[in-house]
Every structure is written in C-alpha cells, then in structure tokens.
C-alpha cells in the first residue's frame, strides 16, 4: 500500500509526464509548420517516450494498490520561431524533470519507502540520457545557426530517431542476441 504523500507525488509526476508529451507535441507541430520534418519526427518520438513514462508511473501506482487522479494537463505553445529555440526550451524542461525526480527520491528516503525509491532511480538514470541528447543537439544547432545546408542535414539525421522501447526490442530479437 502506498503512503499518501508518495501516492500524491507519483500522481503529480504522471500529470507532468503527460504535460511533457503535450509540450513535445506542440514543438512537433511548430516544426511541421516550418517544414523541419525530421525535427518534427524527433519531437513526436520524444512525446511518445513521455507517454511511456506516464504509463510506467501509472502501472506502478496500481501495482502498489494506490490510486491515480487525473487533473487537467497544462496549456502549451504550438508556435516557435526556430529549431534552436525549441531545443533550448526542451533542455530547460528536462532539467526541471530531473529536479523533480531528485525531489521524489528524497521524499522516498524521508518516508522510508525504498521500493518506490528504487523505482524512481530508473527515471533519474533515464534523465542523464534525456538531458545529454538534447544538450548535444542544442550545441550543434548553435554552431550551424547560419548554415542552411548543415541545418538541412541535421533535420534529415533527426528523422531517423526510433522509440527507445522499439530499439530495445530490435536489439533483443536480433539473431545471436
């Protein structure tokens, strides 16, 4: 049975993951409008990752006999001027997500809920990659900001992103794996 404080924290995080998905859908829409189809695809994939995170938290709450409330998801923008603006906002957003998971982990320690603490650690580790991937793209965009050819190449490269769960499935079902 989940303690009420932990249950509320996980519920709050489910809402924030859904908000994250919504944020990335808005960014995908803006990039479609500006004809950056690769970046739009990257953002759509990111939105799917966030929906997966929400589902993972949701399933965990019910596996511990908790309950989930689903308040409204916050409003997001669907207009941005440049890919750099989008990725800079995404980077700040992921840093805010990391800060939240650190806070939830501390709550788990304070409440002596080590099972949930260990569950939360998966998300903390996941955030290393989330921040790193986005920061790398921010740095590349800063370098090529006045170079349309390089921007076009990066857009094509980002069009190849696959959902992490799908990549894992391919890797584990490959011959000899």
Under the binding rule (CB under 5 A), the answer on residue 161 touching Fe ion is: no
Tokens of 101: 């998971």
Residue from 41, 53, 100, 161 binding Fe ion (CB under 5 A): 53
Find the residue with minimal CB distance to Fe ion. 53
Tokens of 116: 């949930």
> What Rg value do the Cα atoms of the chain yield, rounded?
18
| CB of residue 53 to Fe ion, shortest distance in Å | 4
Find out whether 2 and 17 touch, Cβ atoms under 8 Å. no
How many residues can be counted in the chain?
Answer: 177
| CB of residue 33 to Fe ion, shortest distance in Å | 23
Residue from 83, 130, 134, 141 binding Fe ion (CB under 5 A): 130
Under the binding rule (CB under 5 A), the answer on residue 50 touching Fe ion is: yes
Compute how many residues bind Fe ion; rule: CB under 5 A. Answer: 4
Helical ranges in the chain per DSSP H = 4-33, 37-63, 83-110, 114-143, 148-158, 164-173
Q: Which is nearer to Fe ion, 88 or 130 (CB)?
A: 130
Torsion on CA atoms 149, 150, 152, 157, rounded to nearest 10? 150
**Segment contacting Fe ion by CB under 5 A, of 17-25, 60-68, 110-118, 135-143:** 17-25
**Segment contacting Fe ion by CB under 5 A, of 3-11, 28-36, 49-57, 161-169:** 49-57
What is the contact surface with Fe ion in residues (CB under 5 A)? 17, 50, 53, 130
């Amino acid at each position: 049975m989940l303690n009420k404080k932990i249950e509320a924290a996980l519920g709050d995080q489910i809402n924030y993951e859904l908000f994250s998905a919504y944020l990335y859908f808005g960014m995908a829409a803006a990039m479609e409008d500006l004809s950056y189809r690769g970046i739009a695809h990257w953002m759509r994939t990111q939105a799917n990752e966030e929906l997966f995170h929400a589902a993972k938290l949701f399933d965990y709450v019910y596996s511990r006999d908790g309950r989930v409330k689903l308040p409204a998801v916050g409003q997001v923008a669907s207009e941005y001027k440049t890919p750099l603006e989008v990725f800079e906002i995404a980077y700040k957003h992921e840093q805010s997500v990391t800060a939240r998971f650190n806070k939830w982990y501390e709550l788990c320690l304070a409440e002596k809920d080590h099972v949930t603490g260990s569950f939360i650690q998966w998300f903390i580790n996941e955030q290393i990659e989330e921040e790193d991937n986005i920061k790398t793209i921010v740095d590349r965009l800063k370098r090529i900001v006045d170079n349309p050819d390089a921007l076009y190449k990066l857009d094509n490269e980002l069009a190849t992103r696959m959902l992490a769960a799908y990549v894992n499935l391919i890797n584990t079902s490959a011959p000899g794996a």
